[in-house]
Amino acid sequence: MIRALWLKKILKGRSKGVSSVIGTVFLVLIVFAISTNIFLWTISQNAIYNQAVSDTNQKNADRLNESIVALQANYSVPLPNKVKVSVKLTNTGSVLAQIINLWVFDTTMQRYGFNDTILSLNLNLNPGNVTYLTDSKAMWVTIVGASSADNFVGWFVTARGNTVALQVEQSVIVANLAQGIGSMALDFFAFRYFKYNVNKLAGYPAGNSSFNVPSRTDIAFGVVLTNLDPSKQTITLDLYSEVWIYFPKAPGQSYVWYIVNVLPDGSITTPYSSITIAHRETKMLIFASSAAGEFTKVSIGSAVENLPCALNLLLLGRIGARDYGQNIPFVALYVYKP
């Protein structure tokens, strides 16, 4: 009935109240459009904020899960103002970690230094990865005035901002042993020998890790030494440093291998130039020549085949400003017929 009246009004041309209707419709549309707009937009902004919070929380969680252990750290100063840091890094966490900086503080001198160029080495460690930063991979930090006699502390910084303290190698037994018989300690288990072609050591630096050596074969010996001098001085080895073997069952039979310089590819260079080992520094030395200061091949003769022999390491040179001489025994060899 009402609708019929309304239609009748429109059909008869009565327009009273039309503007109110139009106004109301417009008002409703405006309110709806704007409120919808603001509502959706607020939701989108809220989503952006929540995403940022979530990202931050994730980063914090990753940061907490990052765990690197730096063991067997060793500080030495083989060059003036240059601290060499050797260390074993293990990622014991559950996330990938990247090392970006190494800090070293000289507690004796109260000076510090850092090496931020290690970022270019891409030291990325997956969970469980172990990396040895030793020998040619060792890190270097510049500290003006540092010496081997100083005490050091160090820490790595990861890309997530964690710091990893370096835990110094505790080699009390070896140190005490070295103190008892001299300043240099021999790593007994790292003893090895090399065969070679012309003047290049085969399989350098790994060589053959054995105490059985062949006769009638040109060989050289590799020994790993650590300077554990109690007075923390640098040791310089001269050309008379040698490895000497002798046979109890064959008196008079002895052989000598003098120290030589070796390039990273295993090539022996002549003439010999002095090798220095800073305090707490570990180096592998090669003994290959029958003549001091140069390179002449050495092989063990057939007369002593199938015999055991004793090996002595005779080290000569300078320790600090004084002369140095040390005889390190302990290695026994068996000469076999190849």
Partner 1 sequence: MRKSDSYKRVLRFLSDKRAVSDVMSATMLAGTVVTLSLVVFAWSQSMSSNYNHQFSQSIGAEVDRLKEKLVFEYVYYNTSSTPKSVKVYLLNCGTIDSITILSVYVSNSSGWFQSFSSPSLKLLNGTPITGLNRGKEGYIVLSLSSSLKKYTPYSIKIVTVRGAMFDSSFVA
Choose which of 107, 163, 296, 306 interacts with partner 1 (CB under 8 A): 163
Q: Cis before residue 78, ω within 30 degrees of 0?
A: no
Distance of alpha carbon 251 from alpha carbon 335, whole angstroms = 15
Kindly tell me which of 124 and 231 has the beta carbon lying closer to partner 1: 124
Choose which of 10, 34, 165, 303 interacts with partner 1 (CB under 8 A): 34
Distance of alpha carbon 28 from alpha carbon 38, whole angstroms = 15
> What pairing do the DSSP bridges indicate for beta strands 212-214 and 322-336?
parallel
Choose which of 38, 121, 165, 206 interacts with partner 1 (CB under 8 A): 38
Choose which of 8, 23, 94, 249 interacts with partner 1 (CB under 8 A): 23
> How near is the Cβ of 116 to partner 1 at its closest, in Å?
5
**Interaction of residue 61 with partner 1, rule CB under 8 A:** no
Kindly tell me which of 20 and 136 has the beta carbon lying closer to partner 1: 20
**Interaction of residue 274 with partner 1, rule CB under 8 A:** no
Cβ proximity of 238 and 293 under 8 Å = no
**Interaction of residue 114 with partner 1, rule CB under 8 A:** yes
DSSP 77-96: EEETTEEEEEEEEEE-SSS-
Choose which of 16, 251, 273, 337 interacts with partner 1 (CB under 8 A): 16
**Interaction of residue 41 with partner 1, rule CB under 8 A:** yes
Q: How many CB atoms lie within 10 A of CB 239?
A: 20
> How near is the Cβ of 108 to partner 1 at its closest, in Å?
15
Tokens found for residue 235: 């040791």
Cβ proximity of 223 and 241 under 8 Å = no
Residue indicated by tokens 């990273």: 264
Kindly tell me which of 59 and 216 has the beta carbon lying closer to partner 1: 59
Distance of alpha carbon 321 from alpha carbon 202, whole angstroms = 37
Choose which of 6, 26, 132, 330 interacts with partner 1 (CB under 8 A): 26
**Interaction of residue 37 with partner 1, rule CB under 8 A:** yes
Give the residue from 203, 217, 164 showing the smallest Cα distance to 286.
203
DSSP, res 119 = G
Catalog residues that contact partner 1 under the rule CB under 8 A: 13, 15-16, 18-20, 22-23, 26-27, 30, 33-34, 37-38, 41-42, 45, 48-49, 52-53, 55-56, 59, 63, 100-101, 103, 112, 114, 116, 157, 159-161, 163
